[in-house]
Amino acid sequence: PEATTMLERVITAEPRHIAALNGLGVAYARAGRTKDALGTFAKILVIRPRDVQALENVGTVYLQQRAWRPAEDAFRAALVVEPRAARAHAGLGVIALQQGRRDAAIAHWQDAVTMDPRNFDALFNLGTELVNAGRFADARPHLERFVRTAPRAFYGPDIDRLRALLEGR
């Protein structure tokens, strides 16, 4: 709430402040204010129609709502602007898996972690879905990297679970 209030003040003083608008949209999304989040990202896209971060944020909001088509549209629009947009690839991976297209999901997550090795959600998804596909040898380097590099504060239980899997427990 404090961040939202502060960012709203920044936007009042400087309505075209892209970074503040993106931050405010994310704050709204995290607070469950989906309509406000999407409206804020729409303001960015009026000012800067090819803003990759805003497009990825729109996709993420729709993804959280399980609105697959608009999420996919936003992520694909981000990739038109920036083919190396890792968050867009990661989001498309989630959508592909939800649609039962595991191979496409794996391909998107591979792209995402190649472009951003610190995209730990994509790295986790890539490793675990390779395991689920019966491709443990392919999964191992991704699982090992996740266990070695993911921040324990955010991924502690996942790190422990994957470490046990790697150790055969």
Confidence of residue 3 (pLDDT cuts 50, 70, 90): confident
Alpha helices by DSSP H, 65-151: 68-81, 86-98, 102-115, 120-132, 136-149
pTM, two decimals, is 0.90
* Distance set, CA 119 to CA 25, 89, 126, 131 (Å): 21, 11, 11, 19
Q: Are 93 and 122 in contact (CB under 8 A)?
A: yes
* pLDDT, tens only, 24-36: 999 999 999 999 9
pLDDT at 169 over 80: no
Confidence of residue 117 (pLDDT cuts 50, 70, 90): very high
